[in-house]
A = this chain, B = another copy of it.
Amino acid sequence: MPSVTVKDVARLAGVSPSTVSRVISNHPRISKATAEKVRQAMETLGYHPNMTAKKLVSKSTKTLGLVLPRSAEELFANPFFSEVLRGMLACANQKQYDLLMSSANNPKEEMETVTRMVLGRQVDGMILIKPRKADPVIEKLLALDFPFVVLGRSLEHPDVPAVNNDNIAAAFDATFHLINQGHRRIGFVSGPPELVVSGDRLAGYQKALSQAKLPLRDEWVIASDILPKNGFHAVSMVMNAPDRPTAFVVSDDVVAFGMIRELVGAGYQIPEDVSVVGFNNIVLSELSNPPMTTVDIGIYHLGYQTARHLIRILQGEKVAEPNVTVPHRLVIRQSVRFLPHADDAL
């Protein structure tokens, strides 16, 4: 790695280093002749600019920071994340930005990583994924006046740049679909309670029920972790009650998979005995057995728009509206049964 520098190029081309620099950055006032001479020299020497040096002087890294919250375990076990990442990368690379990633196992590490990236000036802006309620990282970034955007939304700071679904509406739609199909007793399986998104989806579910004047029973709301395998005895408890739900809204497809497995194991058929509508529409939702009815939240776009939004901000575009909402849509497949004996239409 014999590190050829501007100096080397300059020497070979018989010009000064500053001229070389100008050629690289397509400076207007440079003669065709020398420009060509310099390019030749770069070519024969195999020159490539040292990005680190460039960053140091330009004070811009062209890099977006991404810190993976809490247990990356949680996040990665779920295809949601890879899809988000795919969207971010697609946008970032298209705009000539890189992504610098780091994971953190707990809130403390998370804070340290953010600090390291931000104060260490390794990145021009930060992306925060699915903030929790009262997220200290947001406070910190706000205090530092450092550019960032959150994927999700901040409860405390509604004006912070954010890209999100309308999760209340999404959960409403999912629940409403069940109601439309004749279901009257509908349960809900929620995500991690500390996440803002979990609260929103629960709210949407409740809203749909109230609007349809349907019972809202606490014991039909199951708090699950976002990982499968947890808390599924809860399911059997619910199912063994005399007045069990005929359908569930499950706030994550992966959890829905786990739940269906539990139910099948307990001898229930999907959708004959229990209907399920999931959330996210991950790739496998379509391939599952039965194919799952789920809310497509546009995961890829969520990622893409988040990066896009941040880059816009970094480039100084005045963004009038800090919040961008990615549309969702219900994808109807075969995990929901129509109950013809529904007592009444709505």
Contacts and interface: CB of A to CB of B under 8 A. Distances in A.
Interface stretch (A51-59, A150-158, A162-170): A51-59
Contacts of A283: 77, 228, 254
Given A82-B76, A145-B1, A287-B258, A52 B121 contact: yes
Contacts of A61: 52
Interface class of chain A by DSSP? helix
B77 A89 contact: no
Contact of A115 (B48, B55, B82, B257): B48
A86 interface: yes
A76 B61 CA distance: 26
A1 B142 CA distance: 11
A112 to B, nearest CB: 11
A264 interface: yes
Contacts of A93: 102-104, 113
A99 B101 contact: yes
Nearest to A79: B79
Given A55-B52, A79-B82, A289 B288 contact: yes
A48 B120 contact: yes
Interface residues of A, number: 58
A122 B52 contact: yes
A328 B79 CA distance: 23
A288 B115 contact: no
A169 to B, nearest CB: 27
B48 A52 contact: no
A86 B73 contact: yes
Interface in A114-136: 115-116, 119-122
A85 interface: yes
A312 interface: no
Contacts of A200: none
24 contacts: A48-B116, A48-B119, A50-B56, A51-B116, A51-B121, A52-B52, A52-B55, A56-B56, A68-B89, A72-B89, A72-B90, A73-B86, A76-B83, A76-B86, A81-B82, A86-B103, A99-B102, A100-B100, A257-B284, A261-B286, A284-B284, A288-B288, A288-B289, A289-B289
Interface of A: 1, 3, 46, 48-53, 55-56, 61, 63, 68, 72-73, 76-77, 79, 81-83, 85-86, 89-90, 93, 98-104, 113, 115-116, 119-122, 144-146, 228, 254, 257-258, 260-261, 264, 283-284, 286-289, 291
Closest 7 CB pairs of A and B: A48-B119, A51-B120, A82-B82, A257-B287, A76-B86, A89-B103, A289-B289
